[in-house]
Structure 1
Amino acid sequence: MTIRAKKRTTSSAVRRLSVLLGAVGLAAPLTLAIGGTAQAAPACTTKAGPHQKDVEKFLGLPVDGRQAPADCRAIQDFQIKRGIRPNIGYAGPVTWGVMREELTARNPNAAGRCPVNVGRVACVDLTRQISWVQDGKSLKFGPVPVRTGRDGHETRTGAKKVYWRSIDHWSTLYDVRMPYAQFFDGGQAFHSIEGSVRSQPGSHGCVNMRPGDAKAYWSLLRNGDDVFVYGRKPGT
């Protein structure tokens, strides 16, 4: 190839590269604009939801049950941060459900069903299928999900105490391991299980826990500590 031919080839390549870069430069803002439009929050609804007062109270807004622009913006902000869709500021059951879960995490004993004036106590709410450890007003651990007794093998309710602990217990009755077992009522105990605590129909009366949660309970509780079981497991 001659020097002149090489120059023409180089010039042609430069022009093609310039055209390509120019196209990219024009396309980039368009792509960003499209992305920005897709991510923009939708307009707020003016309609009050069925849980308007509950949501207003949760967010610290004036509780009047009416949807004001400030209410909608606050609800919409909550929905966007939690990934709730649609995020139009409507106080519906999904939004209130997420808020209720957060309220439970903040204060699982908000209804005062578990007596916490006895010192350290492990509370078990059969209705919500959760448990936590509390000392007076101080929440020590949880709430965490649990699996309690199935129909016909219900976890017994009432005030109890931890009376025997066995870190690597083996159940001769059911021929299964019961790690971090802490017995509080006959053969009923806190202990970890393999698999999901969400699986049904439930245990044979024990309070089944995830391994990490059962291990935490083992470190928090001692013989003589109080346990209080209340409520009713759905389906029993």
Structure 2
Amino acid sequence: MGDIRRRGAVVLGIAGLVAPLTLALGATPAQAATCMTQAGPYQKQAEKFLGRPVDGRQSTADCEAIQAFRTKHGITPNIGYAGSGTWGVMDLMNKQKAVGKNPDKAGTCPVDKGRIACVDLTLQLSWIQDGDRIVHGPVPVRTGQDGYETRTGLKKVSWRKVDHVSSIYDVSMPYSQFFDGGQAFHAVGASMWKPPGSHGCVNMTTIDAKKYWSLLKNGDEVFVYGRKPGT
């Protein structure tokens, strides 16, 4: 959220919601929050993810489970529909889980820099390592949305402020550690899977932001690579 580039851009989420035409034509909030009777294009995948019977048919219980998932992770509108917006988040979660405790199997993040914070934009994961030893993570993060991408490359933590407030967006950025202009690690009070993403910063939970604060210092290196889905 500390990105110093343009503000007010219209952005897209992880993927556009595939929804009935009535929603696209402007359903009211009350209508948008109701359960959908038809199955979505990712119905079976959503059912499997949520532990529902996998039959590809939308039931009331399916709809309520999908709706609860979307609401929890800030996917709007909060309907019970297994569209690409729903599955995009679920698929990312599956991929993150599959990484386990070895997020850099390909050896992309440098191991010759001492302590370094790594950010994989493709998987929306971050971790801190000393050489090839991971000292924290991997943890899910929320990086820059389309038009406000978190910039890739090798950087350094340049300044830190535990109670920073963005001068651009007038929002709190607890445990900020800036590594590229206005882009920083910092805590947010939102789901790490809430689309479409940040304004360039690497968002994380308060617990993880505190841990990063305790492990990093000015001059420590940060390596950002990959490409966030939807950018």
Q: Match for residue 232 of structure 1?
A: 227
| 1:101 Cα offset (Å) | 4.9
Q: Match for residue 157 of structure 1?
A: 152
Which of the numbers 114, 125, 128 marks the counterpart of 2:123?
Answer: 128
Instruction: Specify which structure has the bigger relative contact order, considering alpha-carbon pairs within 8 angstroms and separated by 6 or more residues.
Output: 2
Sort the Cα spacing of 1:197 and 1:98 in 2 relative to 1 into closer, same or farther, 3 A: closer
The CA distance in 1 between the partners of 2:97 and 2:191, in whole Å, is 22
Deviations 1:189-230 (A, max 9, x none): 000001211101110000000110000000000000000000
Please list, as runs of the form range in 1=range in 2, the aligned pairs for 1:4-23 lying within 5 A after superposition.
none
Sort the Cα spacing of 1:151 and 1:141 in 2 relative to 1 into closer, same or farther, 3 A: same
Sort the Cα spacing of 1:175 and 1:143 in 2 relative to 1 into closer, same or farther, 3 A: same
| 1:105 Cα offset (Å) | 2.4
Asked whether the equivalents of residues 95 and 123 of structure 2 are also in contact (C-alpha less than 8 Å), the reply is no
Which of the numbers 173, 196, 199 marks the counterpart of 1:201?
Answer: 196
Asked whether the equivalents of residues 96 and 123 of structure 2 are also in contact (C-alpha less than 8 Å), the reply is no
Sort the Cα spacing of 1:154 and 1:100 in 2 relative to 1 into closer, same or farther, 3 A: closer
| 1:155 Cα offset (Å) | 0.2
Q: Which amino acid is 1:190 matched to?
A: F
The CA distance in 1 between the partners of 2:117 and 2:99, in whole Å, is 16
Q: Match for residue 212 of structure 1?
A: 207
- TM (normalized to structure 2)? 0.59
Q: Secondary structure at the match of 2:100?
A: helix
The CA distance in 1 between the partners of 2:196 and 2:166, in whole Å, is 19
Please list, as runs of the form range in 1=range in 2, the aligned pairs for 1:95-134 lying within 5 A after superposition.
101=96, 104-134=99-129
Q: Which amino acid is 1:148 matched to?
A: T
Q: Is 2:216 aligned against 1:221? A: yes
The CA distance in 2 between the partners of 1:193 and 1:226, in whole Å, is 22
The CA distance in 2 between the partners of 1:102 and 1:197, in whole Å, is 14
Asked whether the equivalents of residues 161 and 185 of structure 1 are also in contact (C-alpha less than 8 Å), the reply is yes
Asked whether the equivalents of residues 121 and 226 of structure 1 are also in contact (C-alpha less than 8 Å), the reply is yes
| 1:107 Cα offset (Å) | 1.1
Q: Secondary structure at the match of 1:216?
A: helix
Sort the Cα spacing of 1:102 and 1:177 in 2 relative to 1 into closer, same or farther, 3 A: closer
Q: Secondary structure at the match of 2:178?
A: strand
Sort the Cα spacing of 1:101 and 1:234 in 2 relative to 1 into closer, same or farther, 3 A: closer
Asked whether the equivalents of residues 105 and 142 of structure 1 are also in contact (C-alpha less than 8 Å), the reply is no
Asked whether the equivalents of residues 189 and 206 of structure 1 are also in contact (C-alpha less than 8 Å), the reply is yes
Q: Match for residue 9 of structure 1?
A: none
Deviations 1:36-69 (A, max 9, x none): xxxxxxxxxxxxxxxxxxxxxxxxxxxxxxxxxx
Q: Secondary structure at the match of 1:217?
A: helix
The CA distance in 2 between the partners of 1:124 and 1:98, in whole Å, is 16
Among the aligned pairs, what percent are the same residue?
A: 65
When the two chains are superposed, the root-mean-square deviation of aligned CA atoms in Å is 2.2
Structure with the higher fraction of residues in helix conformation = 1
Please, which runs of 5 or more residues in structure 2 have no aligned partner? Answer: 1-50, 54-91
Sort the Cα spacing of 1:99 and 1:181 in 2 relative to 1 into closer, same or farther, 3 A: closer
Please, which runs of 5 or more residues in structure 1 have no aligned partner? Answer: 1-83, 87-96
